[in-house]
Chains A and B, each alone.
Chain A
Amino acid sequence: MLNFIVRRLLAILPVLLAVSLLTFLIASLLPGDLAMVILGDQATPENVAALRHDMGLDQPLWWRYLSWLGHVLQGDLGRSFRTGQTVLQAVSERIPVSLELMLMAEFVGLLIGVPIAIACAARAGGAFDRFMTGSAFAMLSMPSFLVAILLIYLFAVELHWLPATGYVPFTEEPLANLRFFVLPALTLALAEWPGIMRVLRSDMIATLQEDYIALAKAKGLKPSRILFVHALKPSSLTLVTVTGINIGRLLGGTLIVESIFALPGIGRLLVGAIYTRDLVILQGVVLLVACGFVIVNFIVDMLYAVLDPRIRHGHA
């Protein structure tokens, strides 16, 4: 087991290196740079060149990457030239917001997806199943920015039930905090539940074909007991993986949702850094987010190994 953990951990390093290198290259392909943003559109080429020199932006690309990497290895993710904040300051201020959003979205997604999946699997091919499979497909095709605006118009502008935008920390006003998170979490969850539902549904249908289920039925167990106790647990292995991978997808979703609902999270920080070409923040945040994603996947792998011994012995 220890051997397995070490092997998995070593495999993470090249992934992080590749992510940071790719971010660096893509960000360098963006036209314009921080010097132009800081100087404004009336600045002369000489001014821009001087500032680029001061910020080291005139150094060759490989040199800039290596020096950034050197600092990171010493634990220094850097400081934004524009705001003066360090990457760690900026991220630690904003990570609670994104975490809360992702957890709530995942929770609501499971809350919608799991019961529907069970109901569909119980009567696979029935009217409810066909309707829900169709709806799931429709929901998957709805872009989140559209869903977000529709929810805002319905619940904030028309009904006045929930706030359209805004945020207060949970520690200050827990109830108000949750109210602010309902619509953004629902927006993300509406894109999440179809995936959850379809994965669990098909696994459940397969499980329900197993001999031991037939045996349970023959013994006269209540259908609800068969569904929730005997069929659900063995069917949820794929769901665990999907939930883990979803965290990565959700991180992508927060870029849009946090901007629309004005939540001060990581997504907003990234979007802002891209617009202002703030490479220090961009690089640092992407690296930390990649770390988070890789760690979640690592945990999922571990969980898998716990659930299925064949995997940790390397002959799955």
Chain B
Amino acid sequence: MTNLAAAACRRAPIFLVAAFALLPLAEPAQAQKSGGSITVGQELDIPGFDPLKVGVYDTSTFTAAAAIFDTLVTLDDKGEAAPKLAESWTHSDDYKTWTFKLRKGVTFHDGTPFNAQAFKENFDRQKDPANKCRCAFYITNVKEVLAPDEYTVVYNLTDPSVNLPATITIQSQNNVVHSPTAWKTKGDDYNRNPVGTGPYILKSWTAGDRMVLEKNPNYWDKGRPYLDRIVLKPLPDAQSRFASLQSGEVDIIWDDENDADNIMKAQKDPKLTVHTYKGSGAQVYAFNTKVAPFDDVRVRQALVMAIDRPKMSQAISNGLSRPASNPYGDGSWVKCKDDGALPYDVEKAKALLKDYGKPVEFKMLVTATPRGRMIGQVLQQFWKRAGAAMEIDQVDQATIPSRAFSRQFQLTPWRIVDLADPDPQMYANFRTGSPLALAGFSDPELDRLLDHARVTADVGQRTEDYCAISRLINKEAIWFWTFQNTYYALSSAKLKGFPKIYNSVIDVSNTWLE
């Protein structure tokens, strides 16, 4: 679709009716209403926006960043890359060079013009070793960004990336575009006085209490945004956050499966809407195949086959957790007819362990949180039934990465976060020699598939590759997946236009009140 057509569709929803006509219960096209104000109940206090200071954004910062800033590219309703500050893009044959043509006539909230130079300055500031940006780690694959003319930006990558535009859509510390004038003039204070090109302008911010965002009257996307004002409030306690939604003090809140009771209450409440999205990642676990007993494939397979995911879901989240049989998740474009998942089969698991001959005893790292402990205990029971003894090794969440990187574990929990493309994480997690290849497993066929998938453009061919990768990993059982990443937001039923929760970001910048 051309950009003009895309813009037309956004403004005239009637064009979309044809697409929805196939759905039996298609909602009637809704007219966006302008005006009004909403309050968002967030989980955390926002530490700030300067990537040099805060390092990585958290869930609460994402929501604010999505309103204050723009990214070059966004994801459309189908999860495909769509224009935002960049209007179009092309790539070199080896997918190592990407050229973006920028939108003209866009200005930052402080009047600074947005152009290729401004974008390059943002990137260089993160990349400059002298700045020691904690965010630099996430752009190691980008060698440099060039600005050959005022409205052209060129990415030069160290490794090929066939899906680069989609992977830079998350409103993260690396992707949102700041006004260079603002950070240069405000110095240390810039962190709490962010300036972007986004649909909302920061009006006031009281630490720990509220951030008030006002509509940007000069937003480049004419007609948007709809709301006059967005107020972001940190409500750290899950129970009182939900109570505030019920009593109408806030219009939308962040939530997760740990809060299953309230999510189910909201599902029954006609005044509330439950927004949910299954992302493109999963909760995963890695065996250390370099140490006994996990150096034997039979033990690994037995443990995976002993896990009853639906029962586990009931135990930990009242059945809200969605089982995963591969690392990609429903939100990913990778859909496998056969992902090679091992079936749940306790008898087979027992037989495999018997065949192994020696007693199976091991320790599993478990995060020292109520949920972490519960997951550990459930797995412990499954494995006991199959004849294996697991000892829970409780550690703080923050120490898991260091234990994992130094390979001081037998079995560790891990996470595959939502990215628009599987390549960055699959390559890091499974390619021989990667520091993140926690299982310590090396297989030439797996390496070949990973190398092939990252330089192939054809989606069908890539899907084949990634499904073959899934089959191989499932068969060798070097990692296993329990549940898909699922995201929740609960809102008043009057709040409309809330998009899919891509990349775990609660983005309210295009919503309106009915």
Question: Residue-by-residue, is A144-170 near B (CB-CB < 8 Å gives 1, otherwise 0)?
Answer: 000011001100110010011111010
Q: Is B343 an interface residue (CB 8 A)?
A: no
Say if the beta carbon of B256 comes within 8 Å of chain A: no
A90 to B209, CA, bound (A): 12
Tell me whether A84 and B50 are in contact (CB under 8 A): yes
A40 touches B237 (CB 8 A): no
Closest 7 CB pairs of A and B: A32-B398, A264-B208, A38-B55, A31-B396, A40-B56, A264-B209, A260-B237
Using known A-B contacts A44-B137, A83-B47, A260-B239, determine if residue A32 contacts B247 with beta carbons closer than 8 Å: no
Instruction: Give Cα A156–Cα B192 distance, bound, in whole angstroms.
Output: 32
Residue of A nearest to B136 (CB): A47
Q: Which residues of A are found within 8 Å of B54, using beta-carbon distances? A: 38, 82-83
Q: How far is the CB of B211 from chain A (nearest CB, A)?
A: 11
Which residues of A sit under 8 angstroms from B185, Cβ to Cβ? Answer: none
Residues of chain B in range 134-160 having any CB-CB distance to chain A below 8 Å: 134, 137-138
Whether A251 sits at the interface, judged by CB under 8 Å, is no
- Chain A, residues 250-281, CB within 8 Å of chain B (1/0): the string is 00000000011110110011011000110000
Given A44-B137, A163-B247, A262 and B396 touching (CB < 8 A)?
no
Knowing that A31-B395, A262-B234, A264-B208 are A-B contacts, what are 5 other residue pairs whose CB atoms are under 8 Å apart, sorted by A's residue number? A82-B53, A82-B55, A149-B240, A262-B233, A264-B206
B233 touching A93 by the CB < 8 A rule?
no
Specify which of B44, B56, B138, B243 is in contact with A165 (CB 8 Å cutoff). B243
**Interface stretch (choices A6-14, A48-56, A110-118):** A48-56
- B192 lies within 8 A of A93 (CB): no
Of B41, B210, B417, which one neighbours A42 at CB under 8 angstroms?
B417
Question: Is the CB of A226 closer than 8 A to any CB of chain B?
Answer: no
Q: Is B514 an interface residue (CB 8 A)?
A: no
Q: Does A41 contact B (CB under 8 A)?
A: yes
B249 touches A (CB below 8 Å): yes
Nearest Cβ on chain A to B210's Cβ, whole angstroms: 8
| CB contacts between A and B, total, < 8 Å | 147
Residues of the B chain whose Cβ atoms lie less than 8 Å from the Cβ of A149? 239-240, 243
> Considering only CB atoms, which chain B residue lies closest to A275 in the complex?
B44
Assembled-state Cα–Cα distance A54/B53 (Å): 12
Distance to closest chain B CB from A79 (angstroms) = 8
- A157 in complex: contacting residue of B208, B246, B417, CB < 8 Å: B246
Chain B CB within 8 A of A129 CB: no
Q: How large is the interface on A (under 10, 10 to 19, 20 to 34, 35 or more residues)?
A: 35 or more
Residue of B55, B233, B235, B240 touching A39 (CB-CB under 8 A)? B55
Partner of B244, one of A32, A47, A148, A166: A166
Do A268 and B208 touch across chains, with their CB atoms under 8 A apart? yes
Whether A268 and B45, one on each chain, are in contact in the complex, defined by CB atoms closer than 8 angstroms, is: yes
Pick the residue among B191, B233, B249 that contacts A83 (CB under 8 A).
B191
A79→B442 CA distance, assembly (Å): 46
Candidates A44, A51, A85; contact of B405 at CB < 8 Å: A44
- A36-B53 Cα distance, complex, nearest whole Å: 13
Contact present for A45 and B406 (CB under 8 Å): yes
A31 to B50, CA, bound (A): 26
CA distance A157 to B401 in the complex (A): 41
Q: Quick check: is B3 within 8 A (CB to CB) of the other chain?
A: no
- Give a binary string over A122-156; 1 marks a CB under 8 Å from any B CB, 0 the rest: 00000000000000000000000000110011001
Give A157 to B400 CA distance when docked, in angstroms: 40
Interface code B224-248, partner A: CB below 8 Å = 1, 0 otherwise? Answer: 0000000001111101110110110
A82 adjacent to B47 (CB under 8 Å): yes
Residues in A with CB closer than 8 Å to B191 are 83-84
Q: Is A43 an interface residue (CB 8 A)?
A: yes
Kindly state the separation between the CA atoms of A149 and B262 in the bound complex, as whole angstroms. 14
Q: Which residue of B lies closest to A165 (CB)?
A: B244
Is B56 in contact with A39, judged by CB distance below 8 angstroms?
yes
Could you give, for residues 17-33 of chain A, a 1 whenever the CB lies within 8 Å of some chain B CB and a 0 otherwise?
A: 00000000000001111
| Given A43-B137, A82-B48, A50-B132 contact (CB < 8 Å) | yes
Nearest to A156 among chain B residues (CB) is B247
Name the CB-closest residue of A to B428: A42
Q: Which residues of A contact B137 (CB under 8 A)?
A: 39, 42-44, 47
Contacts of B396 in A (CB 8 A): 30-32
User: Is B402 positioned at the interface, with any CB of A under 8 Å from its CB?
Assistant: yes
Kindly state whether residue B207 has any CB partner on chain A within 8 Å: yes
- Quick one: which of B134, B207, B415 contacts A38, CB cutoff 8 A? B134
Contact present for A276 and B47 (CB under 8 Å) = yes
Chain A minimum-CB-distance residue to B207: A93
Partner among B207, B239, B395, B400 whose Cβ is within 8 Å of the Cβ of A85: B207
Query: Is A312 among interface residues, defined by CB-CB distance under 8 A?
Result: no
Q: Which residues of A contact B405 (CB under 8 A)?
A: 44-45
Which of A47, A48, A259, A262 has the most CB atoms of chain B within a 10 A radius of its CB? A262
* Interface: A237 (CB within 8 A): no
Q: Tell me whether A157 and B247 are in contact (CB under 8 A).
A: yes
User: In the complex, are the beta carbons of A165 and B399 less than 8 A apart?
Assistant: no
**A84–B192 Cα gap in the complex (Å)?**
8
Q: Which residues of A contact B247 (CB under 8 A)?
A: 156-157, 160, 163-164
| A55 CA to B390 CA, complexed, in Å | 39
**Any chain A CB within 8 A of the CB of B314?**
no
Provide the bound-state CA to CA distance between A149 and B246, in Å: 13
Contacts of B244 in A (CB 8 A): 156, 163-166, 262
CB of B435 closer than 8 Å to a CB of A: yes
* Chain B positions within 8 Å of A44 at CB level: 137, 405, 435
The smallest C-beta distance from A244 to any residue of chain B, in angstroms, reads 27
In the bound complex, residues from chain A placing their C-beta under 8 Å from that of B44 are 272
- B94 on the A face (CB < 8 A): no
Task: Give chain A residues whose Cβ lies under 8 Å from the Cβ of B246.
Answer: 157, 164
Residues of B contacting A50 with CB < 8 Å? 132
A94 at the interface (CB under 8 A from B): yes
Beta-carbon contacts under 8 Å, B12-58 to A = 41, 44-45, 47-48, 50, 53-56
A36 touches B50 (CB 8 A): no
Q: Are B401 and A84 in contact (CB under 8 A)?
A: no
Please name all residues of chain A whose beta carbon is closer than 8 Å to the beta carbon of B398 when the two chains form the complex. 31-33, 36-37, 277
Q: Do residues B243 and A152 form an inter-chain contact, with CB atoms below 8 A? A: yes
Among A51, A157, A271, residue most surrounded by chain B Cβ atoms (within 10 Å): A157
Bound complex: CA of A33 vs CA of B402, how far in Å? 11
User: Given contacts A44-B137, A148-B240, is CB(A32)–CB(B55) below 8 Å?
Assistant: no
Residue pair A84, B189 in contact (C-beta under 8 Å): yes
Question: Given the known A-B contacts A32-B397, A38-B56, are A167 and B249 also in contact in the complex, defined by CB atoms under 8 Å?
Answer: no
B234, B240, B243, B399: the one within 8 Å of A32 (CB): B399
Which residues from B are CB-within-8-Å of A30? 396
Pairwise interchain contact B207-A164, C-beta atoms closer than 8 A? no
| Contacts A/B (CB < 8 Å), 22 sampled | A31-B396, A31-B398, A31-B399, A32-B398, A36-B402, A39-B137, A43-B134, A44-B137, A48-B401, A51-B132, A82-B47, A82-B48, A160-B247, A163-B247, A164-B244, A165-B240, A165-B243, A262-B236, A265-B208, A268-B236, A272-B45, A276-B47
Task: From the candidates B188, B235, B406, name the one contacting A84 in the complex (CB within 8 A).
Answer: B188
Q: Which residue of A lies closest to B209 (CB)?
A: A264
B235 — which chain A residues lie within 8 A by C-beta? 165, 262
Question: Given known contacts A93-B206, A268-B236, is B45 in contact with A164 (CB within 8 Å)?
Answer: no
